[in-house]
Amino acid sequence: MTRMRCDRTPAWRELQALFKSKASTFDLRNAFATDANRFETFSQSAPHVFADLSKNLIDSSVQQLLFDLARQAGVTEQRDAMLAGVAVNSTEQRAVMHWLLRNPALSIADSEQSAIKNVANELAQVHATLDAMLAYAQTVREDAGITDVVNIGIGGSDLGPQMAVLALDGYVLAEKRFHFVSNVDGHELAATLKRLKPENTLFLIASKTFTTIETMTNAQSAKAWFEAKGGTDIARHFCALTTNVQAAHAFGISTTFGFWDWVGGRYSVWSAIGLPVAIAIGPQGFREFLAGAHAMDEHFSRAPIERNLPMRLGLLDVWYRNFHGFTSRSIAPYHSALRRWPAYLQQLEMESNGKRVDATGEALPYATAPVLWGEPGTNGQHAYFQMLHQGTDVVPVEFVAVKAPQHNLPGHHTLLLANAVAQAQALMVGKVDSGGHRHFPGNRPSTFLLLDELSPASLGALIALQEHRVFVSGALWGINSFDQWGVELGKVLAQDVEARLGSGDTTGLDGSTAGLLCRLKTPWPASL
Ligand code: F6P
């Protein structure tokens, strides 16, 4: 497989020269003034998503060189390797096949012709599990005795399903309540349990590994609560979603849906981890969710680089991070149902590409994943948009807006959309004022993603778009986007600190850690 680190390509050097000579002073206002077709040139449609990229700090010469960069770094070859089931997760020797989870089933005849014939067995397993899981979801939907579904999981075993159940509120079965417990902080579980009755509750224990301490602790406590309150039928009230079915059985859960080690945690909402979504929106809705993502997969795998939206977004990310030096991207979903969208993207991008070495372990001489952050609009406008408009840092903003509302409150949606468009406009055009305080520098970049409606299919496509865009920037940076060794050290140290909190032993610790342990060991008033 051709793979060249981005900084070793001729295009990288050309981009550096171009940045120095003129691209660093690029002005969006001039660009629009001199090019009547800029909006058409720098916008495009992809399945379920329209993207306006025209308010970004690029012109055709920059874009051409970015396309060259993708070609020279071998991004398409790396994409094709992932889509052929090659073990591109090199540090864990695993294939990366979350995309297979949304591939339609193949007939035997098709599978012989298909580009994915080498993973036909895996695809058959995917569909067998999907059918079983959706049948189970339907049973739960029809079970009037179950009023509350509690997902216990963290990271990818929480963020994806939680974000999707909230986002698809308009499709969610009204007769059931959905709860998501992720934090090991007992306040979260205790607050949830307070509102539940064991006989009406289904706990979904979601953990790829079934070893994650937060999830296991919450699952143990949920089971203890269930039994203490007289609950008896574990098979009806507990279901495990995991690759480690054996551990789930050992825990005492017999109702299980499995998945595979080639599904990364942050890419797992399409697998059994998506069960809360399937219960919430129903089997047909879940199949539409998968189909929307599959349509984006097809676009990513087939569209030429120049008209390939995930490619264009991933290239822009590298342009901003490594040439302009922007350190963050603000995520602005103008739809309150997308309120967990920024958090979901944080894990997707920062856990995937927050790496300081390349896939061979060599330290990288350039920056990688930016910080992602944000809140739904218009709330963000009354909090931190001040900094976006007039602060000293330039922060590219990624808007997401939805044309059709799912409510009958006349005027609200027009006002919401007007604000989204106006914010992007204001960031770009700015306002000249000699007074200083009222001056807006403008020329601040943004991308505007527009969906016709927020449906299972469009949400599926939007998520897959982001997954692939993260793949593209990771491939350019030469990193393995599919491991997460950076979460390990804290886990190990937490075990040590937990033991020391019991024993009070601070031997060998740094002064601050020892000091904090002593403070924590000091008895606090019983009233607390
Ligand atoms: O934070 C590390 C991580 O491994 C994530 O990648 C993953 O989504 C999360 O923990 C939860 O892991 P599991 O599903 O195995 O409980």
| 177 and 205 together in one domain | yes
Give pLDDT tens digits for 478-509.
999 999 999 999 999 999 999 999 999 999 99
Give pLDDT tens digits for 78-94.
999 999 999 999 999 99
**DSSP-derived 3-state class of residue 327:** coil
Nearest-atom index, ligand 1, CA of 266 = 8
Query: Concatenated DSSP letters for 84-111?
Result: TT---BTTTTB---GGGGGSPP--HHHH
**468 CA from centroid of ligand 1 (Å):** 20
- Which protein residues touch ligand 1 with a CB less than 6 Å away? 154-157, 207-209, 212, 215, 265-266, 351, 484, 487
* Count: domains in the chain: 3
In sequence order, the 6+-apart residues with CB closer than 8 A to the CB of 427 are 55, 388, 389, 397, 442, 444, 445, 446
| 346 and 393 together in one domain | yes
Residue 291 within any structural domain of the chain: no
Residue 294 within any structural domain of the chain: no
Active site members? 351, 382, 491
Position 527 confidence tier, pLDDT thresholds 50, 70, 90? low
Q: Of 263, 279, 295, which marks where a domain is finished?
A: 279
- CB of 475 closer than 8 Å to CB of 78: yes
Q: Whose CA is nearest to atom 8 of ligand 1?
A: 156
Tell me the percentage of the chain whose pLDDT exceeds 70: 98
**462 CA from centroid of ligand 1 (Å):** 22
User: Does the predicted TM-score (pTM) go above 0.95?
Assistant: yes
Instruction: Give the bridge partners for 148, in sequence order.
Output: 177, 201
The rounded distance, in Å, linking the Cα atoms of 19 and 140 is 57
Give pLDDT tens digits for 419-432.
999 999 999 999 99
User: What are the angstrom distances between the C-alpha of 459 and each of 4, 160, 328, 451, 511?
Assistant: 33, 11, 24, 9, 48
| 122 and 183 together in one domain | yes
Pocket probe mutation, ligand 1, options 152, 157, 216, 491, max atoms within 8 Å of Cβ: 157
Query: Concatenated DSSP letters for 417-459?
Result: HHHHHHHHHHHHH-B--TTSTT-B-----EEEEEESS--HHHH
Residue 502 within any structural domain of the chain: yes
| 451 and 498 together in one domain | no
| 132 and 184 together in one domain | yes
Nearest-atom index, ligand 1, CA of 206 = 14
Residue 83 within any structural domain of the chain: no
| 462 and 495 together in one domain | no
- CB of 48 closer than 8 Å to CB of 452: yes
| 417 and 450 together in one domain | yes
Rg over alpha carbons for the chain, rounded to the nearest Å, is 24
Q: What share of the chain is helix, strand, coil (3-state, %, to 5)?
A: 55, 10, 35
Residue 286 within any structural domain of the chain: no
Residue 298 within any structural domain of the chain: no
| 472 and 499 together in one domain | no
**202 CA from centroid of ligand 1 (Å):** 22
| 212 and 352 together in one domain | no
Indicate if the pLDDT at residue 528 is higher than 60: no
| 263 and 391 together in one domain | no
Position 109 confidence tier, pLDDT thresholds 50, 70, 90? low
Which CATH number characterizes residue 156's domain? 3.40.50.10490
Residue 353 within any structural domain of the chain: yes
Q: Whose CA is nearest to atom 2 of ligand 1?
A: 487
* Range 143-148 average pLDDT: 98
- CB of 198 closer than 8 Å to CB of 146: no
Q: What tokens were used for 334?
A: 């103008």
Residue 475 within any structural domain of the chain: yes
**DSSP-derived 3-state class of residue 115:** coil
Nearest-atom index, ligand 1, CA of 265 = 8
Indicate if the pLDDT at residue 524 is higher than 90: no
Query: Concatenated DSSP letters for 216-283?
Result: HHHHHHHHHHHHHTT---HHHHEEEEES-HHHHHHHT---EEE--TTS-GGG-TTTGGGHHHHHHHHH
| 443 and 402 together in one domain | yes
Domain containing 395 equals 6-73+303-479
| 190 and 225 together in one domain | yes
